[in-house]
Chain A
């Protein structure tokens, strides 16, 4: 009987400890032991060791807070973060895209960090226009500390343009003319990939912004069916529906085939961000050119900026410790390290953006300057669903001619207007 009692006690203790460990999530340790912040992130290039190096530097320089990082593939990231947050387990701080905020913040998943930000002495070094990427429309509260961002531009293949006798476009009409002139299906050559698959909403919105459209108007109302938006969208769709200037498969293509097509010379133009700059320079060498996204009349450039920042989860037991880690990431040296890594994103700090290589590389300067007038996805609840599935469905239907461009915009507007 004693043996049974002992076994029962051991089993109960084990179960209790297991449950406590499972429910602990982001731990707030007691006593003098340092608090460990569980931090989740995705990496655009998972082979890069910079994030691990940053965590090691932080842990070596901090006695009271330690960080433990977990890298999750971007494809699974949102689902796993959502599942962990809803069960109160997992991360204490996490990397987040700006357009997830509209879904996460109203649900109470992430914490309002306004007080922490106001008390943070690094606040003034952040490029002023980028703070809005961490707020909800019409709300001054900060939910995300900006960290790394990209602005979208137009890559073009100078050799292909020279062979076709075409000048680099500055207006959207010139872009369409160039796309048609650069297309020769018999030779397997095309103008531009419309990327109707995963992630295609970003290059589409960059085109829409440059075409004079906006997602929401000054009053915060969804404005995707405005005359400017309808016209810009028609121009975008016409690459497939009228000009047949996109390669086969483009209407469902995700980033990998788009990049492969551009690198192989199958397409002559590609909308993407500086994250591809090093790879494309290595592949195309001097033939690579970058331009602002063509606008309606060549003036008033506009594009999309997409922010990857850091959030503190509401379930985190020690939000001060979590903020200590994410604010340390937004100080000068860690910012320079991550911004010059192969992750290929831009720094949010004036001090880093104003120094090498960002102040001297003309292409990177173009991207940094674009950020001052670029716009982002508004943090509306429907944006995450739009980006995950609905944009693909609607743009594919429009590109196939199964619905008009106006119907496509109406369906997207209806989604964004939902609470």
Chain B
């Protein structure tokens, strides 16, 4: 509000004091400032354009063409790749798997992350150590996570099956990664194990920003623990939850390492996701056009989440 008169003056708005002193004088300074901003932004624009923009545009172009990785674009095919994908008999299952994988994993991460954040926010001995240890799954490389869980889940020599049999829970080993009914849920569980710490730490940071006085005031006004959480804590941590959830949805949808290493998309197609299918189509079938079409299709869906993310962060910046 306080800037408005100044801007009006700068633009030579009639009726202001500055306008009366120098009504027609050119004002190059804002323009120079604008140019300066572009100069400062140039390295970032060049880098993003080179390493993100160009590959993105190229991928989109590939999706509408027949592409040979050695001799390049062979011919424009329009939307044929997309038609082939959505009319393929496997598409429904792959799409369903992608939804279960993405929303299942992120929903559970959010729920458990919320619980974990409250636990880590409580006062107890060695709290700092526990907070550090809690980040280990998130900090562990995905390949290592996949190999570790393959060993744990091995039906014949893995520790989990050994424990289940020793406890009498089952008398025959469970092949978690080799049954259609358990492969995808198992992958979701492993991804949840890996992703919960991020949610917990993000929410913990937001929780620490909630003033104790507000909680006390709400409690004095008659709110119970649930009421304090609902009316004081939740509104305060909601922006963090929303932004973290959106980011995790995008990352998880694009996350291919665990699936590729642990099940390869099997058994059959029971754990094949769109991102895995994109990789296999491009690099194993050497069909870069088809692979790009899978990626573009997924990117189009995810762009809705990206728009939401941008709106949320822009709102936060305005505040």
By a beta-carbon cutoff of 8 Å, the part of chain A in contact with chain B is 78-79, 82, 85-86, 103, 107-109, 185, 188, 196-198, 247-253, 257, 260-261, 264, 266, 384-385, 388-389, 392-393, 396-397, 399-400, 402
Contact = CB atoms under 8 A, between A and B. Distances in A.
Given A385-B285, A389-B265, A249 B177 contact: yes
B264 A197 contact: yes
Contacts of A385: 284-286
A79 B283 contact: yes
Contacts of B68: 107
B232 interface: no
Contacts of B154: 249, 257
Contacts of B267: 196, 251-252, 396-397, 399-400
B265 A249 contact: no
B157 interface: yes
B40 interface: no
Contact of A392 (B155, B175, B264): B264
A137 to B, nearest CB: 18
Contacts of A197: 264, 266
A252 B174 CA distance: 13
A400 B180 contact: yes
Contacts of B285: 385
B268 A85 contact: no
Contact of B263 (A103, A188, A252, A266): A252
A197 B261 CA distance: 11
A195 B268 CA distance: 14
B71 A108 contact: yes
A109 B70 contact: yes
B269 A260 contact: no
B173 interface: yes
A396 B180 CA distance: 10
The 8 lowest CB-CB distance pairs between A and B, nearest first, are: A388-B284, A248-B155, A86-B69, A396-B267, A248-B175, A249-B175, A249-B155, A252-B178
Contacts of A198: 264
A1 to B, nearest CB: 17
A389 B264 contact: yes
B contact face: mostly helix, strand, loop, or mixed:
loop
Interface string B70-83: 11000000000000
Contact of B268 (A107, A261, A266, A393): A393
Contacts of A392: 264, 266
B156 interface: yes
Contacts of A188: 156
B312 interface: no
Contacts of A250: 178
Contacts of A399: 267
Contacts of A260: 156-157
Contacts of A393: 265-266, 268-269, 272
Given A79-B283, A249-B156, A264-B157, A396 B175 contact: no
Given A107-B68, A185-B172, A402 B268 contact: yes
Nearest to B285: A385
Contacts of B265: 389, 393
B280 interface: yes
B69 A82 contact: yes
A251 B284 contact: no
Contact of B178 (A248, A388, A397): A248
Contacts of B174: 248
Contacts of A196: 266-267
A82 B283 contact: yes
A188 B171 CA distance: 11
Given A107-B69, A248-B174, A389-B284, A257 B268 contact: no
Among B69, B157, B178, B183, the one with the most A-chain Cβ atoms within 10 Å of its Cβ is B178
Nearest to A382: B285
A84 B75 CA distance: 23
Nearest to B269: A393
Nearest to A266: B156
Nearest to B90: A393
A393 B155 CA distance: 20
A200 B110 CA distance: 38
Contact of A396 (B69, B155, B266, B283): B266
Given A385-B284, A393-B269, 6 more contacts: A82-B286, A196-B266, A251-B178, A252-B178, A392-B264, A400-B268
